[in-house]
Structure 1
């Protein structure tokens, strides 16, 4: 949703050219090379899925609006995958050339909502407190204002920390510096080292660095070890046992930095079908296969408008009005107000409309100037459904 041109260029090299995250940032440096971040399984390491079953006949108007997301690429950018479920069953599924049901695609900031669900598991387990000060050692010195920050503040993007999601030029923002620059080896330490510039809960400030801090807090709750491999394995085991296995999201591949911290704000990979399973889990308010995995109270928290931005809940976007002068995230003037979405850079969407019994996944490459048209197309499609 924001401009990250340098980030994208670096990420493309990292993913397609075999570069590590730190290598992409370290060109020209005379410092000795540090260990590369441990990435997840190969992007291509997915068992091919069975042939898609025949889909039910779709209303011609709905089909035309869905097809337009592929056919009107000049307006909305490249759509690589579009999957629509009604009552949990696919009614439309189409992929761009070179992509298919077994292709893993990057989440970008959709990862934030997955991190929020993982946080909910540990709060439900009693290992973390939503309203207690977060256990970040660097903030525990007497008089440090950061010591008052709570998980609620962080999930509402209101920590008060000096995080700059997008700089001018873009590489001066925290996100690029954290992912590919001086913060790449230990992203959480970079993010946690920022000073407070506002009181916790006072100002909305969308920040990928905040989500990395959350991932660090989760990992510390899972293991006392500072060993990168142990930290990574503890998080992977937790995700497998609490999310990917119960939901069947077998393709989900989170990425980690060199310190073993999950890049919880921006870099996960999964197939469109597995992103849809996550959306269905949210649509069913934390229930999967008839089993409640996430408390209803946590789902209510995630889907309640935050105090400083009504269009944002607990690390998820809501179809509600945002403050005056702030850009639109969804389409509150057109769709139901119970609609919500996980949204990622360049137009990654998991859209959930509970009152319509609909979950939709759109993955692709959309430029900043194309976003108004993409939102109109997605709003048109949801309205037709």
Structure 2
């Protein structure tokens, strides 16, 4: 696909993105048959089976919006691709809708107060709140859809992550005491949210947000072959917070950009406040257990903050080099697909410099 940039400075940004593609194979499987996620996270043992759909990825793609105007685009920005953990930030926004609807009247109320069944009923999980689940410090313990939370014990993410201990059993603490990036716990949150809406989460997202903001019909949000549940007598699939074992959100750069603009506008579209007015403010407050994390959003805050980028900037990040970056200070929304994660910060620093010219 052709690319364009509104200024010579942005042209260099586009060239950088096109020339720094992720090392992940486009098939999503290495030559020995290993799934990219299993290799990325050094995953071995009884919970490695891929149980959701996987699709071959496209090449580098992206979109940059400045003050709502499209100022750069590269690759196939209309191609729906797996987006891995960016789905978590969409899930966070759906929690905001549930709060607005009164389905979750208090984020500090235990999830078990409104979601019955086994996942939040054991004594250790009984005190887990919606806030804990959003902050990734719930210390939820158990198995859901055939995956045990132990699989992500000691997990690290990001460039240079050390996952040599990943999957070793860790003694979990009280809810709210320890941050751990754990996809099984996110799947438990998605299930709990499904139980509150009593409607498939992709339908809620499509009806309440994506159709409103003019997103395409090409995106989809998948669960696992094991995640079908009964909701009001109907068989419904509970979705996942990423593509760790397949599944997750398959979406284009253009649809990400529209969603990012919606978030940049504080959940307002065409004059209507769709999200609670204070939802994004709450979502972007650093958590007590990780100062660069909010409600399933990554912040440029704390000891790891990049001083060359605005402190108010925040991101939805997905493995393999997927990023939705929102910079309120400069009114920028940027989507990068399949950009080598080691080059993300350089890309963003150059983007800030190009916009400032």
TM-score, length of structure 1 as denominator length: 0.68
C-alpha distance in structure 1 between counterparts of 2:339 and 2:100, whole Å: 36
Partner of 1:30: none
Runs (5+) with no aligned partner, structure 2: 27-58, 142-148, 157-161, 229-236
Q: 1:170 to 1:218 in 2, by over 3 A?
A: farther
Task: Give the superposition deviation at 1:321.
Answer: 2.1
Task: Give the superposition deviation at 1:279.
Answer: 0.7
**8 Å contact from structure 2 (residues 312, 329) kept in 1:** yes
**8 Å contact from structure 1 (residues 160, 196) kept in 2:** no
Q: 1:208-219, aligned counterparts within 5 Å? A: 208-219=183-194
Q: 1:128-277, aligned counterparts within 5 Å? A: 128=104, 129-135=106-112, 136=115, 137-138=117-118, 141=121, 144-161=123-140, 163=149, 164-165=151-152, 166=155, 173=167, 197-223=172-198, 234-250=200-216, 251-258=218-225, 259=228, 260-266=237-243, 267-277=248-258
Task: Give the superposition deviation at 1:74.
Answer: 8.6
Task: Give the aligned CA root-mean-square deviation in angstroms.
Answer: 3.0
Q: 1:73 to 1:172 in 2, by over 3 A?
A: closer
Partner of 1:332: 306
Q: 1:77 to 1:284 in 2, by over 3 A?
A: farther
TM-score, length of structure 2 as denominator length: 0.73
Partner of 1:86: 66
Q: Partner of 1:296: helix, strand, or coil? A: coil
Task: Give the superposition deviation at 1:141.
Answer: 4.5
Query: How many positions carry a matched residue from both structures?
Result: 289
**8 Å contact from structure 2 (residues 84, 241) kept in 1:** no
Q: 1:55 to 1:141 in 2, by over 3 A?
A: closer
Partner of 1:316: 297
Query: 1:105 pairs with 81, 84, 92, which one?
Result: 81
1:384 aligns with 2:349: no
Runs (5+) with no aligned partner, structure 1: 1-50, 175-193, 224-230, 323-327
Query: 1:62 pairs with 3, 10, 27, which one?
Result: 10
Partner of 1:25: none
Identify the structure with the greater helix proportion. Answer: 1
1:68-93 deviation digits (Å, cap 9, x = unpaired): 12134499999610210011110000
C-alpha distance in structure 1 between counterparts of 2:285 and 2:23, whole Å: 33
Query: 2:343 pairs with 364, 373, 378, which one?
Result: 373
Task: Give the superposition deviation at 1:308.
Answer: 1.1
C-alpha distance in structure 2 between counterparts of 1:80 and 1:147, whole Å: 44
**8 Å contact from structure 2 (residues 10, 72) kept in 1:** no
Task: Give the superposition deviation at 1:257.
Answer: 2.2
